[in-house]
């Protein structure tokens, strides 16, 4: 009797995980403007994937039945490869035809250079730590999100200091938001001349994206730096993931608040993504998009971008990583995308030290002639 109930229970749980996994695949194709809750299943994808594997195995051991779970797992092969960073064979002909014009680029959400010392464990001298990091990891182009300037705050690295540290000669910024005497936005630093730049998007709610046309050797390239709509979590939401954070609200109120903020954040990201892609379609220059997408590889925004651009992460061959360093299990939400005029040769996620609630990412790419 007990064994029969166990088998029934395992079958029910297996079915629930498998159906959840199947529905999570749809998060990449269904716009959150239509059915936003599919994005929640996309966020839950790694849990649903692992749960399906475990319970499908248990179900097979107890009942010898596994066909439905196996079919669903196979149907999601593309999603699994995209999420876990499975790289496909490199285009050797493209590598051979690539020019010697190689470019290195870094993208880093610096979270105001930890000016308010919010990172755990606490960083005693964040300015010195960021300075050392930039010195140890030089790149031709440096794209920063949640970048901040304030001449009276000595915890921030000034533009001139960043330029001196990295050997940069040009930079552009979008400083459109103000808080506590700081101006915040995105920044692009370059060792090569910037001949044109501009902003994309409405800054009434979030920070607009920034782009720059940069001349390197005989080539002019375009760089986009973006930070898509944040979820704007506060302590009530963070307390769901960290027991050390207190909240005056009960559990159901915090869950409701979390879901409400997720629902509000998804549609603006779709609009921001479409604006960037539409703008990028107007240039003939080799193009790179980098920044904080605030969404995982199972999301609709990621799928929208990768219809036109490639994810440089796959230059790292095989591997799963996370770029969000905070308490929320967000996984990989920072990216460097490239069009078909580039081929990436390296990719790195910098886990050496936690300086922000994001880890820096960098890539080296060559232009295809």
Per-residue pLDDT tens digits for 126-137: 999 999 999 999
Q: Assign 26 to helix, strand or coil.
A: helix
330 close to 293: Cβ distance less than 8 angstroms: no
Average pLDDT over residues 320-328: 79
Please list the helix, strand and coil fractions of the chain in percent, rounded to the nearest 5, in that order: 40, 25, 35
pLDDT of residue 258: 77
pLDDT of residue 278: 95
CA of residue 198 relative to chain centroid, distance: 22
Domains and CATH numbers, the chain: 2-84 (no CATH), 93-368 (3.60.10.10)
Secondary structure letter of residue 205 according to DSSP = T
Residue 86 pLDDT level (bands cut at 50, 70, 90): low
205 close to 199: Cβ distance less than 8 angstroms: no
Token code pair at residue 203:
């800054």
pLDDT of residue 235: 67
Average pLDDT over residues 77-104: 70
CA of residue 241 relative to chain centroid, distance: 20
CA of residue 114 relative to chain centroid, distance: 19
Q: Which residues of 51-82 are buried (b: 16+ CB within 10 A; e: fewer)?
A: bbeebbebbbebeeeeeebeebbeebeebeeb
Nearest of 101, 85, 82 to residue 348 by alpha carbon: 85
H/E segment holding residue 29: none
């Amino acid at each position: 009797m007990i064994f029969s109930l166990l088998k029934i229970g395992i079958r029910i749980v297996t079915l629930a995980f498998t159906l959840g996994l199947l529905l999570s695949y749809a998060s990449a194709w269904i716009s959150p403007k239509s059915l936003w809750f599919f994005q929640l299943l996309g966020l839950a994808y790694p849990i649903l994937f692992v749960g399906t594997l475990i319970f499908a195995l248990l179900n097979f051991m107890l009942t010898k039945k596994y066909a439905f779970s196996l079919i669903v797992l196979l149907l999601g092969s593309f999603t699994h490869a995209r999420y876990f960073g499975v790289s496909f064979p490199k285009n050797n002909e493209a590598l051979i035809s690539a020019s010697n014009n190689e470019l290195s680029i870094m993208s880093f959400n610096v979270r105001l250079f930890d000016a308010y010392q919010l990172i755990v464990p606490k960083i005693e001298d964040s300015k010195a730590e960021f300075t050392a990091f930039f010195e140890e990891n030089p790149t031709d182009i440096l794209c920063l999100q949640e970048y901040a300037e304030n001449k009276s705050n000595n915890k921030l690295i000034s533009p001139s200091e960043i330029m001196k540290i990295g050997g940069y000669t040009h930079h552009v910024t979008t400083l459109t938001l103000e808080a506590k005497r700081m101006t915040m936005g995105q920044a692009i630093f370059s060792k090569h001349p910037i001949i044109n730049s501009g902003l994309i998007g409405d800054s009434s709610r979030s920070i607009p994206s920034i782009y720059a046309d940069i001349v390197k050797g005989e080539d002019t390239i375009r760089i986009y730096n973006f930070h898509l709509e944040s979820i704007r979590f506060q302590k009530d939401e963070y307390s769901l993931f960290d027991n050390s954070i207190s909240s005056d609200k009960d559990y159901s109120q915090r869950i409701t608040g979390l879901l409400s903020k997720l629902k509000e954040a998804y549609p603006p990201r779709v609009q921001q993504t479409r604006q960037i892609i539409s703008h990028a379609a107007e240039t003939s220059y080799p193009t790179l998009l980098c920044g904080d997408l605030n969404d995982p590889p199972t999301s609709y925004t990621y799928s929208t971008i990768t219809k036109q651009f490639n994810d440089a992460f796959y230059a790292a061959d095989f591997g799963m990583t996370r770029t969000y360093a905070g308490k929320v299990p967000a996984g990989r939400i920072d990216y460097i995308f490239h069009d078909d005029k580039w081929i990436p040769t390296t990719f790195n996620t910098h886990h050496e030290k936690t300086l922000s609630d994001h880890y820096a990412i960098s890539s080296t790419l060559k232009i295809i002639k």
